[in-house]
Structure 1
Amino acid sequence: MAERIFGDIPGIPEGSEFENRFFLSQYGVHRPLQAGISGSQAEGADSIVLSGGYEDDEDLGDIIIYTGHGGRSLESGLQVADQQLVKQNLALALNCQRGLPVRVVRGYNHKSSFSPTQGYRYDGLFRVDSYWREKGKSGFYVWRFRLIKIETITALSVVHDDQPEYGTSKRITSTIQRVLRNTKLATYVKELYEYQCQVCQTQVMTNSGLYAEAAHIQPLGRPHDGPDVIANILCLCPNHHVMFDFGGFGIADNLSLIGLEGMLFAKPNHRLARQYLQYHREHFLLNNW
């Protein structure tokens, strides 16, 4: 079996077009002839194809909300069962945790203004920003993956003149869309707990003082659209922040920990909203609680 390549395939630039899945496979851009995800749950995913097979996919161009694999009827193509975080779905989750890029191919039968009118097109590298589960349009649980385009820069050879000319550098205006977080709220929560983790109650000391991280229970930004309010913010150490974001544990409405022993440490003047805790359990934990 050919070695799995995470990144561009040499000689295949972004925008390359292919007549069908056979040629995608032959050139190594996307090896499987049918599966939408190429990868293994031990290594990660090296490529995906957007082919219109899943009704919950959202293609926003540089941001893709991709639906995982499984649960579809072979006869009707409809979602008839919950998806599991195994095999190809787990492969994409590994990309998120390990920072591995994934090649994205769009197919002609994918209903999107960004898709080609015929054949398949390699549309560059994306990173898996986050993943979660939710009930899809069919009523069954599906795994969703938020992919963000990786902007690549082509290196150019530099020619040095004997007498270089110096002038004013050009300014390029670009627009960046991002969620603005209220740092005052995050700082308030961390100071409220004296930078002590609400799970393990440890303080991380650095050479510049105590360190903690503000974690949003219901994530900010599309598609979660969680609010940037105190009732949606936790003070966590880096380890428990990562565990929480990736569903390593949850928090019950009574603040008992799910997946870990004990209770969440919460001060009387820091009331967490129940709907945010429920949202996290629903979308990030593997089991219903």
Structure 2
Amino acid sequence: MTPGKEGFVICRFHLVKMEHDDDISPQPEAVSTTEGVDADMTPLEAQVRRYINSRQLARDTAAANRIKDMYGQTCQMCDLRLVVSPTGEAYSEAAHIQALGKPHGGPDVIENILCLCPNCHALFDRGALQISDSLDVIDGLSGQYRRALTRLSEHRIQVSYVRQHRSRWADRNGQIGVFEL
């Protein structure tokens, strides 16, 4: 770690491009080592300074940004526009309906992305909020209708992605059939 001009601590890293024939077998989530730990570091600095190997699926930020801009950073499930600055800047998250990672294999396309506030995103990712085939927001715990999903005509959500998301929570209260109406 290096102190910056204004006194902030700067963490530097080195990004290495992998070759197509590199071994991509699963690695431990984090590998800690004392390599690179200076003797004059505090115990907290030494704990923070560790090397991590991580593999993440590349995402299409253009598609996510397009959806968030399309809805003006306003949540499609609750209509909250979370303003985070005096200038009116807002924050929202792009949520994939059919998850990208294994085993779900959803595509990174606008038909599979929603603009959500952080709370609705967390609830949606955990099945506590779901979407019916008619694109209504459903309470995934009780099966009760909450409201119609806010949707613009140019945002063509694919029902197949909605069904796959719901299928992940099919055993919850036996309510899955209600959502298909």
TM range (shorter): 0.5 to 0.7
The answer to which structure has the higher strand fraction is: 1
Is 1:240 aligned with 2:125? no
Q: Which residue of 2 aligns with 1:75?
A: none
Matched, 1:197 2:82: no
Q: Aligned runs of 1:244-259 on 2, under 5 Å? A: 244-259=124-139
Could you say what secondary structure the match of 2:148 adopts?
coil
The answer as to 2:167 corresponding to 1:282 is yes
Paired residue for 1:214? 94
User: Measured at CA, do residues 151 and 202 of structure 1 come closer, stay the same or move farther in structure 2, by a change above 3 Å?
Assistant: same
Per the TM alignment, residue 221 of structure 1 is displaced from its structure 2 partner at its CA by 2.3
The AA in structure 2 aligned to 1:188 is: R
Which residue of structure 2 lines up, in the alignment, with residue 269 of structure 1? Answer: 154
Over 3 Å counting, the alpha-carbon distance change for 1:153 and 1:261 in structure 2 is same
**Partner-residue secondary structure (3-state), 2:115:** strand
Deviations 1:84-134 (A, max 9, x none): xxxxxxxxxxxxxxxxxxxxxxxxxxxxxxxxxxxxxxxxxxxxxxxxxxx
Q: Give the AA of the match of 2:153.
A: P
Gaps of 5+ in 2: 1-24, 41-50, 140-144
Summarize the alignment of residues 69-218 of structure 1 with structure 2, pairs less than 5 Å apart. 149-155=28-34, 177-207=55-85, 209-218=89-98
Q: CA deviation at 1:183?
A: 0.8
TM-score under structure 2 normalisation? 0.65
Amino acid at match of 1:263: A
Report deviation, 1:155: 4.1
Instruction: Give the letter for the 1:264 counterpart.
Output: L
Q: How far apart are residue 180 of structure 1 and its match?
A: 1.1
Aligned partner of 1:224: which letter?
A: H
The TM-score with structure 1 as length reference comes to 0.42
Number of residue-to-residue matches in the alignment: 132
Which of structures 1 and 2 has the bigger CA Rg? 1
Aligned residues of 2:67 and 2:115 also touching (Cα < 8 A): yes
Task: State the shift of 1:267 in Å.
Answer: 0.7
Name segments (4+ residues, structure 1) moved above 6 Å. none
* Separation of aligned partners in 1, 2:169 and 2:112: 15
**Cα offset, 1:158, TM superposition:** 5.2
Counterpart amino acid of residue 182 in structure 1: D
Sequence identity of aligned pairs in percent? 36
CA contact (8 A) 2:63 2:110 kept: yes
- 8 Å contact from structure 2 (residues 29, 53) kept in 1: no
Shift of 1:189: 0.5
Residue of structure 2 in register with 1:231 after alignment: 111
- Partner amino acid, structure 1, of 2:154: N
Distance 1:158 1:227, change over 3 A: closer
Q: Whole-Å Cα distance in 2 between the matches of residues 252 and 192 of structure 1?
A: 22
SS of 2:77's partner is coil
Amino acid at match of 1:284: W
* Distance in 1 between residues matched to 2:39 and 2:118, nearest whole Å: 46
